[in-house]
Copies of this chain bind each other. A is one copy, B any other.
């Protein structure tokens, strides 16, 4: 009934290529027949598509193993190694980086410590060392980098400029994307660290596949993010998740209950104080347990605000303190049950300190998918 025009035909060819890439991504190598079945194409049409994708560098033929008998069927795989992605987490005490292939499979990781008060250039130098270290570890060069995806605390505008950061005040008004691009000439994405951690939880963590989730990013600082309808919610000005800024949420000073507990020995470095209290609470110390109770009282207020507003399926406790989930989750559940209309499941993150850097990789993979599979995407380019 519909008339197929020239433009329609080239669009159809492109859609078939993308359908084939989708079928191959994440899956093992597939024969031509298996691919044809999954894409709904005839075998001869599938062969045409596969030949073109091999030519462009997106797909390669897998050689049959030497011992194979008879004439083995041709098999194809997505060339996830035809480019690389880097994820970075700029924290107050560490800059972490990871390098992955185009499927988000992590191939190398590095960590560079920085002092919380380090000046801007020192922190950017640590970032450069962290990324260069990943390139060296995985024996790749900057020419193989398609995207660097950076997570940092605070509010970032759409151009990658830091509007506000409570954790790293020196970041304010910094054109972070521009500075990273000066060091590494490739595409640079900047996103809020709590949103990246939430993305990692929903892509490969404890909330994989959960469509509505509240993510608590708790450690020395408090952060939050929400996954709504399967998507990490950014907000109109990319400023969502900042419940910590509401005094009535009682989040901003909540960690002080742990840091200032009497069980922490004098002279303990500030970054280790909370861990000391949490460990003492695990061992049943009544003073530490009381401090943890006051901390969870406050944590529960901001969390209940998010749960009452969003009614998520799952709440995930992530960030540095998720290592102490055994101490924190039972009292948190008890307080939420008293406060919420419908009690969500409460789970602990399994990604720990890696959550932001892993989320940064996942964000770069999503970005690649958006570019490839956008309704108005152009024809597939040659890979480099």
Contact = CB atoms under 8 A, between A and B. Distances in A.
Contact of A342 (B45, B48, B155): B155
Q: With a 10 A CB-CB cut-off, give which of A155, A235, A301 has the most chain B CB atoms.
A: A235
B41 A239 contact: no
Contacts of A233: 228, 310
A45 B246 contact: no
Interface in A278-335: 301, 304-306, 308-313
A219 interface: no
B248 A308 contact: no
Contact of A41 (B1, B48, B229, B248): B1
Interface in A211-254: 211-212, 224, 226, 228-229, 231, 233-243, 245-246, 248-250
Interface in A51-78: none
B164 A341 contact: yes
A212 B236 CA distance: 7
A339 interface: yes
A40 B305 contact: no
A177 interface: no
B2 A41 contact: yes
A236 B311 contact: yes
Contacts of A235: 212, 310-312, 342
A150 to B, nearest CB: 20
Contacts of A155: 341-342
Contact of A239 (B229, B305, B341): B341
Interface string A138-158: 000000000000000001000
A48 B1 contact: yes
A111 interface: no
Nearest to A248: B248
A186 interface: no
Contacts of A3: 41-42, 45
A12 interface: yes
Given A248-B301, A305-B305, A312 B236 contact: yes
Nearest to A235: B311
Contact of A249 (B48, B242, B248): B248
Contacts of A312: 235-236
A313 B49 contact: no
A45 B240 contact: no
Nearest to A13: B1
A231 to B, nearest CB: 7
A16 interface: yes
A352 interface: no
A370 to B, nearest CB: 15
Given A228-B233, A301-B248, A2 B309 contact: no
A237 B305 contact: no
Q: Of residues A234, A242, A312, which shows the largest number of chain B Cβ atoms within 10 Å of its Cβ?
A: A242
14 contacts: A1-B12, A2-B12, A155-B341, A164-B341, A229-B229, A236-B313, A240-B310, A242-B309, A243-B305, A245-B308, A246-B301, A248-B249, A306-B309, A309-B310
Given A236-B312, A245-B340, 19 more contacts: A1-B9, A1-B12, A1-B45, A1-B49, A2-B45, A155-B342, A164-B341, A212-B236, A226-B309, A228-B228, A229-B229, A237-B342, A238-B311, A241-B309, A245-B308, A245-B339, A246-B305, A248-B248, A309-B310
Interface of A: 1-3, 9, 12-13, 16, 40-42, 45, 48-49, 155, 164, 211-212, 224, 226, 228-229, 231, 233-243, 245-246, 248-250, 301, 304-306, 308-313, 339-342, 344
